A and B are shown apart, each in its own frame.
Chain A
Amino acid sequence: MTIKQCLKDNHNRLLKQWFQATINTYPAQSAKILGKDVDRFDNPVGAVTRETLEDILHLLASDYTADTLEKALDPVIRIRAVQAFSAAEAVSFIFALKDVGETIMDSAFAREFDRMVDQVVLAGFNRLMKCREDIFLLKATESKRRIHAAFERAGLVQELKEEDLLGSKKS
Chain B
Amino acid sequence: MADELTPDELLDKIDYGAPSGDWMDTTKSVQIRPGMYCYAAKAESVETLGLPNARPWNPIEEDWKLPDNWQQILHEGIKERLERFRTFKIFMDVCVRCGACADKCHFFLGTGDPKNMPVLRAELLRSVYRNDFTTAGKILQKIPGGQRLAGARPLTIDVLKEMWYYFFQCTECRRCSVFCPYGIDTAEITIMARELFNLIGLNIDWIATPVSNCYQTGNHLGIQPHAFKDMLEFFVEDLEDITGVDCTPNFQKKGADILFITPSGDVFADPGTYTCQGYLILFKYLKDKYGLDVTWSTYASEGGNFGFFTSHETMKRLNAKMYAEAKRLGVKWILGGECGHMWRVIHQYMDTMNGPADFLEVPVNPITGTRFDNAASTKMVHITEFTADLIKHGKLELDKGRNANRIMTFHDSCNTSRGMGLLDEPRYVIKNVCDNFYEMPPNTIRENTFCCGSGSGLNAGENMELRMAGALPRATALKHVHEKYGVNTLGTICAIDRAALSTLCEYWVPEVEVAGIHELVGNALILPGEKERTEDLRMEPLPGCEEEE
Contacts and interface: CB of A to CB of B under 8 A. Distances in A.
Given A27-B19, A83-B110, A84-B33, A44 B473 contact: yes
B503 A83 contact: no
Contact of A145 (B10, B270, B473): B270
B270 A149 contact: yes
7 contacts: A30-B108, A45-B110, A79-B110, A84-B14, A86-B13, A142-B499, A142-B503
B13 A85 contact: yes
B174 to A, nearest CB: 17
B111 A150 contact: no
B443 A42 contact: yes
A150 B13 contact: no
B441 A150 contact: no
A142 B502 CA distance: 9
Contacts of B473: 41, 44
Given A78-B508, A138-B506, A154 B112 contact: no
A32 to B, nearest CB: 9
B110 A150 contact: no
A30 B112 contact: yes
Contact of B269 (A28, A34, A150, A154): A150
B16 interface: yes
A47 to B, nearest CB: 8
B440 to A, nearest CB: 8
Among all A-B residue pairs, the 3 with the closest Cβ atoms: A154-B234, A44-B476, A27-B16
Nearest to B238: A153
Interface stretch (B210-218, B297-305, B462-470): B462-470
A156 B230 contact: yes
B231 A84 contact: no
A43 interface: yes
A2 interface: no
A28 B4 CA distance: 29
Interface in B103-158: 103, 108-114, 117
B28 interface: no
A84 B503 contact: no
Interface in B32-54: 33, 35-36
Nearest to A28: B19
Given A41-B480, A79-B110, A138-B503, 13 more contacts: A29-B114, A30-B114, A44-B476, A45-B112, A82-B110, A86-B13, A134-B506, A138-B506, A138-B507, A140-B1, A147-B221, A151-B268, A156-B230
A77 to B, nearest CB: 12
B102 interface: yes
B112 A27 contact: yes
Contacts of A47: 476
Nearest to A85: B13
A87 interface: yes
A89 B14 CA distance: 10
Interface string A60-78: 0000000000000000001
B469 A82 contact: yes
B11 interface: yes
A12 B373 CA distance: 60
Given A145-B270, A146-B269, A45 B472 contact: yes
Contacts of B503: 138, 142
Interface in A135-171: 135-136, 138-140, 142-143, 145-147, 149-151, 153-156
Contacts of B110: 44-45, 79, 82-83
Contact of B443 (A27, A41, A155): A41
Interface in B489-522: 499, 502-503, 506-508
A138 B469 CA distance: 14
Contacts of A87: 10
A44 B472 contact: yes
How extensive is the interface on chain B, given as a class? 35 or more
A48 interface: yes
Interface of B: 1, 3-4, 10-11, 13-14, 16, 19, 33, 35-36, 102-103, 108-114, 117, 221, 227, 230-231, 234, 238, 268-270, 273, 441, 443-444, 461-462, 464-466, 468-469, 472-473, 475-477, 480, 499, 502-503, 506-508
A157 to B, nearest CB: 11
Contacts of B507: 78, 134-135, 138
A154 B230 contact: yes
Contacts of B506: 134, 138
Interface string A79-102: 100111111110000000000000
Interface string A97-134: 00000000000000000000000000000000000001
Given A26-B112, A87-B10, A156-B227, A139 B477 contact: no
A151 B221 CA distance: 12
Contact of A146 (B108, B111, B466, B502): B502
Contacts of B464: 82, 135, 138-139, 142
Given A33-B103, A45-B110, A135 B468 contact: yes
Q: Which of A26, A78, A83, A151 counts the most chain B CB atoms within 10 A?
A: A83
Nearest to B440: A41
A85 B468 CA distance: 14
Contact of A43 (B10, B103, B268, B499): B103
Nearest to B463: A139
Contacts of A45: 109-110, 112, 472
A139 B462 contact: yes
B268 A147 contact: yes
Nearest to B269: A146
A139 B36 CA distance: 12
A40 interface: yes
Contacts of A135: 35, 464-465, 468, 507
Contact of B270 (A134, A139, A146): A146
A69 to B, nearest CB: 21
A146 B465 contact: no
Nearest to B498: A146
B111 A83 contact: yes
Given A147-B268, A156-B227, A34 B465 contact: no
B103 A42 contact: yes
B290 to A, nearest CB: 30
B278 to A, nearest CB: 15
A34 B169 CA distance: 19
Nearest to B12: A86
Contacts of B273: 150, 153
